[in-house]
Structure 1
Amino acid sequence: MKQTCILILGMHRSGTSALSGTLNLLDVYLGTELMKPMEQNAKGFYENTHLYKVNEKLLKQMNSRWDDAFYAESKLNTIDDITELEAVLKQEFQYSQLFAIKDPRLAYLFPLYTKALTNMGVDVKAIIPFRNPLEVADSLKTRNQFSQEKGLLLWAYHFLLSEKLSRTLPRVFTHFDELVQSPQTVIKQIDQKLKLNLNSKYNAKKDQIADFLTPGLKHHNIALDNLSEKVPKPIRDIVSLVPNLNETELDAKFDELRQQLFDNQSLFYNGDILKSMQELEQVKQGLQAKDQELEQTKQGLQAKDQELEQTKQGLQAKDQELEQTKQGLQAKVKELEQTKQGLQAKDRELEQTKQGLQAKDQALKQAKQGLQAKDKELEQMKHELVAMHLSTSWKMTRPLRKVKRFFINLANK
């Protein structure tokens, strides 16, 4: 089964992101890396980052850009090598049965994409979202500071070129307002025209889609029937065809409108004006570079301020730590002083104990000497007693001693 690619063609701020996000929720693959959301598109751009870089290179080779107010199809003739585009397409989508590519630059690069995808054997189908051009111009004025005239002119270029270049392909026009208000109606419309079988997946994903397509997604709201006579006639003529975009053969009418637009465009091809505009563009680019440099400087300054604040906080923390250390050291000094005093008291007590011990040693020595003297005296008395027992007088007085003990015992009774 052949691969199918949906090319989403539409000017910036035309609802292409809302449509791409909805298709992504219905399992249409958009690639490995998508552009990150920003303030002006908080829910995401759904643009493939790798293809965006290739597209910027191709436009630069053509001496053009997405907001080129002097774009002409002839600029495509300067591109003869699309090998990088083919390589990125294969890298991103070679394993995807159904995938989509959304980039506002596609209106200017459409033939290069159809050629590359056809070379890869991929079926190509197109969706062209429509949004009130005044809403687009107002949104561009807010985001890019474009004049309303430039916003309307760019919208007309992108819309008319997308219509012309996609005629040979299966295609469908969708309306941003209808997508936000009734997404299933738009999905059915896409299925009817492109045979993608997306509606069968809608019921399973409708809650997620409803959360994604909130009313706040659309910031500028102007009714189509409120276009005043001040809006250029080619713009009003294009808007008048909107109700019949998907039902009626309008090629001839679109060719006529496109010719009128490009005929009027030739009024701007004055050498002096072009030179002035180029110089102005260079000044703008220089100013943007300075703005970026200033922003980077501001960010660097903020980073330095944060670093300084962190350093101050670190210094305060160190001061607190130092103060705590000082207090701890003072406590240790006091504790050491108390320990020294206690040690001195112990030394004095030990000295007194030593002196007492010496006195005890002397007393003990004296006691031992006295004991030795007593031992000698006792020993002498023992010798004298033995000598006395052995003497004749002791033996002769023995009867007298017995009589004496008798009377002593009798007295004791």
Structure 2
Amino acid sequence: MQMPTQKITTRHSTSNETKVQPFAQMLKNNIRSYSMVIALVLIMLLFQILTEGILLRPLNVTNLILQNSYILVLAIGMMLVIITGHIDLSVGSVAAFVGALAGILMVQHQVSMVVTVIVSLLLGALIGAWQGFWIAYVKIPAFIVTLAGMLLFRGLTMVILEGQSIAPFPKSFQNISSGFIPDLFHGTDFHMFTLVIGLLLSVLLVWLEIRKRNNQKKYGFDVSPTVVFAAKLVGIVAVINIFSYVLATYEGIPNILIILATLIVVYSFVANKTIVGRHIYAIGGNEKAAQLSGVKTKRVTFWVFVNMGVLAALSGLIFAARLNAATPKAGNLFELDAIAACFIGGASAYGGIGTVSGAIIGGLVMGVMNNGMSLLGLGIDWQQAIKGLVLLAAVAFDIYNKNKAS
């Protein structure tokens, strides 16, 4: 009679015990996330040295954000598509088509910016719904459907623009991609409001990390060693405030960075904290098992492509505002950059694995490489070749880890 009692007591005593995860084990479990962050830092340091300090100058850092914003927007949506086990080759053409429509409405017909943006996003949703229907309900492979979409919307872009560019856009529209938030404190040498935002963001993120760790302790989950956790907090605070300082020495925080930060927070929450997010990962992991578990796989896949259409439209608007023109060649190879950003950022070629933050890191890796190689005077031919090798290495790394785990 004592044996069962002793077992129950032992289980109860260990269920609430906090387990400190060894550093080596923690590194092994998170190798994909940490490896890409480390790779990004090393690439930045390499080009900082090779360009003799030009890469991380305030003006160039701001240009990096502005130049890669539309790819990062696409990467967020593309990550969800890849997690479900699909691909979307049409996003560049959709972005070009929506940008062309925005140019016709605003420049030629004097439609207000707000109405144009709403119409453009609705058009993106309709395009996503069109493609999602064939993929989710008719079961045509996404590769074929979106390849057809790539050709269709590229052709329609040329038709409605008649081979000509439309410009210029109103200043209010240009500010979406090239404007900056005003300095409420009216600093002279520095954009003081940017520094304040950096400090507030540091405090918020430190509080969230401490709260997350305390919750993990409360429920007996593994936690990282205290020294590692403290180093992580110091790193977060240092990166945010150095980044804020660099921006503050130029024009401050670009408007597009606010849009990007909002998208990252919203989509990270949806992916990690909602039922919809869990269903997306379940479909990518095993669609048949997810369907048997009650997940409406067709509906979820359909809405993932609707979402991709909306973000492709937003990307097209951002690019048109950045270029200050709607051109037939807009969006060329955007889809390849977005896909590469996702795989470099840790998405699995088999689906079911990936994070929004990983897509952003992958996009930054691509952006820093593009910018660094341009500063060094490398031609577009070598840039494309090097990016291709990096993409191949990222996917090979994913397959290696998957085979090793099995």
TM superposition score normalised by structure 1: 0.21
Q: If you compute each CA radius of gyration, which structure gives the higher value, 1 or 2?
A: 1
TM superposition score normalised by structure 2: 0.21
Q: Which has the higher strand share?
A: 1
Q: Which has the higher helix share?
A: 2
Determine which structure has greater relative contact order: mean sequence separation of CA pairs < 8 Å that are 6+ residues apart, divided by chain length: 2
